[in-house]
Amino acid sequence: MSSLSQPEADRISQLEGLVESLLQSEGLELIDLEFRKEGRGWVLRVFMDKPGGVTLDDCAEISRQLGDQFEVEDLIPHAYTLEVSSPGLDRPLKKEKDFLRSIGKKVQFSTKVPLEKQSFFKGILLDYQVSGSLRLAENKKTWEVPVEIITKARLVYED
């Protein structure tokens, strides 16, 4: 998101606040929000979750409520498509609670700075320190990785 202009960054921040507030009032958690130009139009994607998982009815209801609220707030000055869904089995890991919830599970991530000439990692998340690092077991090696150098992380789904 660093390539966004300040007005765009402010708009995304406002959207996130509004979405998070609505989801919390409905017992749901905001996992991720994307707002970007794709093809000829803009797409706003909201990924949400709750214990036991999100249903199609949850998605339809939240989509309706968000659409109404966005219209009232007039935060998006142009046409856009709203997509509301669960994060899926290979959910992104962005917040501290995402990493903490994923301890003991298989994850993968890339780093902006290589560690020992490696910038892609896949293994079992052993630990997450509030100080900002995580430990990962990959094959027979354990990595200590500062969270601030991780560019993209997600759970890895396995049957």
Q: Is residue 31 classed as helix, strand or coil in its secondary structure? A: strand
Residue with tokens 């994060």: 87
The CA-to-CA distance between both ends of the chain, in Å, stands at 33
| pTM, full prediction | 0.71
List phi, psi (to 5°) of 2: -65, -15
Both tokens of 148, joined, read 């601030």
DSSP state of 19: H
**pLDDT surpassing 80 at residue 3:** no
**Residue range 20-78, pLDDT digits in tens:** 999 999 999 998 898 888 988 899 999 999 888 899 999 999 999 999 998 888 878 88
Domains of the chain: 6-85 (3.30.300.70), 96-155 (2.30.30.180)
Rounded to the nearest angstrom, the gap between the alpha carbon of residue 95 and the centroid of all alpha carbons in its chain is 8
